[in-house]
Structure 1
Amino acid sequence: MTGAAAEPGYRVWALPGIPEVRPGDDLVKLIAAAATAEGATALADGDVLVVTSKIVSKAEGRILEAADREAAIDAETVRVVARRGTLRIVENPQGLVMAAAGVDASNTPSGTVLLLPEDSDASARALRTGLRETLGVNVGVLISDTFGRPWRSGLTDVAIGAAGVRVLDDLRGGTDAHGNPLSATIIATADELTAAGDLVKGKATALPVAVVRGLPHVVREADAETEADTGAVPGEDGDGDEGDPGARALVRDAASDMFRLGTSEAVREAVTLRRTVREFTDAPVDPGAVRRAVAAAVTAPAPHHTTPWRFVLLESAESRTRLLDAMRDAWVADLRADGKSEESIAKRVRRGDVLRNAPYLAVPCMVLDGAHAYPDARRGAAEREMFVVAHGAGIQNFLVALAGERLGSAWISSTMFCRDVVREVLELPAEWEPMGAVAIGTPASAPGARPPRPADDFLVVR
């Protein structure tokens, strides 16, 4: 109809004629030959080529003789994210989190494995530049690979390399059709394009390249290669040749990754992250995070199905100062009674300032409700020790859970030396036994490297 607006839409088709790719092959020539097989080029300005990573890897010689695929995965693994039996989800050197580090034993000769391209963004840039010089067309290039996804069954293709494509469409700051502000909407355009391309490519039919046409707005102009045109999320890394961040902009950094580890791996990392922190920032502590840590603490094992844990949370500066002043006075009195000099006392008190400098304190207390009474001292002492051990398990849970909340902590024993003072200041029942105090806050600096402690140094096997 004359004057009618064009219907929105796009076309996607596989590019036929790509032969089996071997190490050293020139992918630009192979794709250009396929695109001009019938004389006129099958590519146009604004097209997006979706190229399967396998042919890029083969052309770049990323084929490895490997009788043991697991060893190849080890070599390509930067960090294990999750492990279930022989299946591993890992981070590879490109920062991609995927099964088996992308090491593939399919579509490659027996006894070999195929690694992902060493730098998929650089590979995409080379293809884009080569096709522009060979065919005179300005196309975007995406290099795709197959990913599984958390919470969703099935596989889909995603972009692991990109050049000349606005990989992210940041809609934050705009409004929807109802005028509601968009505050978190960032569209992964490159992944949507690769998934569309995968619908027409063939993993076993020699169709490793797809063409998407009709979305020229996602392709960057060849002479306007500036960071402002990349579609990168503000604050993301925008460095790269000609300011194109490539597919790297799609990879979440550690700080914004809420699902960085699998369950068992997260527990192990939280245990490893738990350190004694003695210097904190003045950032406020989320009381909800502390309460979640308490909920973890009280799942620890305890004798006779008891619950021997109580936590006093000192959330106001006034309550912390009042307790710590009273404890300091009691400590000074003890030191003087021990015959310590005033200079020595002052030094010791200064070393105890870790609690005073923390923005939040918790005082864990032990109660012996449900403890069995025994007529002899031996069994009575063992009964109490069971409760002390259970209380220690609860504190460990508490500290590990705080580490999982990205909070630092220091468990200081001082309240155990002046329990009567603590009970009086905090108005606690007489049967509550303060078991130290936990300083909580945001660490002022990253922890140093922890010296290795091989498990065998602590084992006796019979």
Structure 2
Amino acid sequence: MTRPPVTPTSDREPTAIQVFGVHGIGEVRPGDDLAALLKEEDLRDGDIVVITSKIVSKAEGRVRQGSDRTEAIEEETDRVVARRGDTVISQTRHGFVMAAAGVDASNTEPGTVLLLPEDSDASARRVRAALGGRVGVIISDTFGRPWRHGLTDVAIGAAGVRPLEDFRGGTDTHGNPLNATVTALIDEIAAAAELVKGKLAGVPVAIVRGLAHLVTADDGPGVRPLIRPADEDLFRYGSRDVVFARRTIREFSSAPVDPEAVRRAVAAGIAAPAPHHTTPWRFVLVESAETRSRLVDAMREAWIADLRGDGFTEQSITKRIRRGDVLRNAPYLAVPCLVMDGSHTYRDDRRNAAEREMFVVATGAGVENFLVQLAVEGLGSAWVSSTMFCRPVVREVLDLPESWDPMGCVAIGHAAAPPRDRAPRDAADFYVTR
């Protein structure tokens, strides 16, 4: 095929871009040298080679025997983002958020599934080096897009191609400042290459010509700059998984807590159900470091006094009061309180006790909403309920009305490390049917 040359008007903007499919590659097997399959091509300095990840996976032996795709998805998943029926959106250990953790049962032999390359950036670097380093290389895969139908190819690995174009700090043609415009160049190139590859045409590689100004002398950072960290993802939890996002965090980093995030968690807390259309929740947000220290010290002294009165040894007391360490080390505390405003008074103690229990349950529902929303906000938390053993002390330190009943203390902050996995629980062990 005769390919007309491209003459850019400058070193930044070409007059035209050409995209060619590479035909005749055939079935790729484990151990195949992808670069060797491309060396016969008329590659020119500044070309960008876009390779479908499937053939990279095949060449690297990322073929899993067995047709159980569900098990493979679980093994490749670092975090489940959302589920609906059999559809799972997962974050892989590479940081990609995608359907089925990138596990693919198409274009592979029956009884096998394909896994993503172990390190697509490294794969791209190896191919580029074998091709002489004068071209850019992109490894692409197909992703869905939130809020849009249809799939498109994006880059999951790259070498020798500038990944982003950052326009922030510049102005548009009308002089308006650009504050958020960062273009994903390698994703745009991957999508353009897919136009000539296609899903059924058996063309797994394309050459993009005319973008030599994006090809770099070194391998560059790969796709890392495009991967949004989970704590920056506003939609990182699906509706079915958000409850499980709440984990008890006992070690916090020094990162400050955004008070507005805690206030949004309070708004979630007071959305809980309550009896008689009441609002039995009050949240004391302890934002002063001095007040936090006084509160934890006062509770600690009250706990020690109680334990000594109960005859515990000093060794046992030291062990038991370690519950307060998570509160002392947290950068932010919240004290959920119960108020009985709007409760009914009955003639007998049995119904009055049940009335209080209804309000306690409603407060617990509010606390759980609060903890879950903290997780949605990217904050870790630990609920220390033993505050209830020293309610008068808490009221005194925080200057609370007598009618406010402290129901615990919540330590809040950014997790210093990922939480440990939950112990497995089978829901069937916790219900009966009648």
> Is the TM-score greater than 0.5?
yes
Deviates more, 1:90-99 or 1:288-297: 90-99
- Alignment equivalent of 2:362, drawn from 381, 387, 390: 390
- Given that 1:81 and 1:91 are in contact with CA atoms closer than 8 Å, whether structure 2 keeps it comes out as yes
Equivalent pair of 2:380/2:415 in contact (CA under 8 Å): no
* Equivalent in the alignment of 1:199: 195
Inter-partner Cα distance in structure 1 for 2:364 and 2:351: 20
Query: What residue is the counterpart of 1:241 in the other structure?
Result: none
Q: 1:45 to 1:145 in 2, by over 3 A?
A: same
Q: Of residues 263, 272, 279 in structure 2, which corresponds to 1:307?
A: 279
CA contact (8 A) 1:419 1:433 kept: no
- Paired position in structure 1 for 2:248: 274
Residue of structure 2 in register with 1:117 after alignment: 117
Query: Structure 1 residue 262 and structure 2 residue 258: aligned?
Result: no
| Cα distance in 1, alignment partners of residues 291 and 87 from structure 2 | 51
Further displaced range: 378-387 or 123-132: 123-132
Q: Which runs of 5+ in 2 are unaligned?
A: 1-7
In the alignment, what sits opposite 1:381?
353
Aligned with 2:23 (options 14, 17, 21)? 17
The 3-state SS of whatever aligns with 2:27 is: coil
Please say if 1:422 is aligned against 2:395: yes
CA distance in 1, matches of 2:393, 2:101: 58
CA offset at residue 418 of structure 1? 4.4
Cα 1:44–1:302 shift into 2, 3 Å = same
| TM-score, length-scaled by structure 2 | 0.79
Kindly indicate whether the alpha-carbon contact (under 8 Å) linking 2:19 and 2:192 is maintained by their aligned counterparts in 1: no
* Alpha carbons of structure 1 residues 386 and 63: separation in structure 2 relative to 1, 3 Å: same
Structure 1 residue 450: deviation in Å? 6.1
AA aligned to 1:46 is G
Distance 2:304 2:120 in 1: 68
RMSD of aligned Cα (Å): 4.0
Q: Deviations over 1:219-256 (max 9, x none)?
A: 123xxx2xxxx6xxxxxxxxxxxxx3323443233444
Amino acid at match of 1:77: T
In structure 2, relative to structure 1, the CA distance for the partners of 1:425 and 1:46 (3 Å cut) is closer
Are 1:219 and 2:215 matched, yes or no? yes
Residue 27 of structure 1 is matched in structure 2 by: 34
TM-aligned CA deviation for residue 183 of structure 1: 4.9
Structure 1 counterpart of 2:430: 459
Separation in 1 of the partners of 2:187 and 2:342? 59
Check 1:78–1:27 CA distance in 2 against 1; reply closer, same or farther (3 A cut).
same
User: Is 2:356 the partner of 1:372?
Assistant: no
Q: Aligned partners of 2:398, 2:105: CA distance in 1, in Å?
A: 67
| Structure 1 residues 160-198: Cα deviation after superposition (integer angstroms, max 9, x where no partner) | 121221122344455555666555443211111111111
1:128-147 to 2 correspondence within 5 Å?
A: 128-132=128-132, 138-147=134-143
- Asked if structure 1 preserves the Cα contact closer than 8 Å seen for 2:394 and 2:406, the reply is no
Aligned runs of 1:48-447 on 2, under 5 Å? 48-132=48-132, 138-177=134-173, 182-221=178-217, 225=218, 244-270=220-246, 273-275=247-249, 277=250, 284-316=256-288, 331=302, 360-405=332-377, 406-414=379-387, 417-419=390-392, 422=395, 426=399, 428=401, 432-442=403-413, 445-446=416-417
Unaligned runs of 5+ in 1: 36-40, 231-243
Instruction: Figure out how many residues of one structure are paired with residues of the other and give that number.
Output: 419
| 2:121–2:223 CA contact under 8 A, matched in 1 | yes
Shift in CA distance, 67/402, structure 1 to aligned 2, threshold 3 Å? closer
Letter in 2 for 1:54: K
Quote the Cα distance in structure 1 between the aligned partners of 2:79 and 2:303: 49
Structure 2 CA distance for partners of 1:178 and 1:274, relative to 1, 3 Å: farther
Q: What is the DSSP-based 3-state SS (H/G/I as helix, E as strand, rest coil) of the residue aligned with 1:144?
A: strand
The Cα of 1:159 is off from its aligned counterpart by 0.9
SS of 1:50's equivalent in the other structure is strand
What's the CA shift string for 1:269-290, capped at 9, x where partnerless? Answer: 12xx234x4x767765433222
TM-score scaled by length of structure 1: 0.75
SS in 1 for 2:23: coil
Q: Secondary structure at the match of 2:240?
A: helix
Aligned sequence identity (%): 54
Q: Give the superposition deviation at 1:306.
A: 2.6
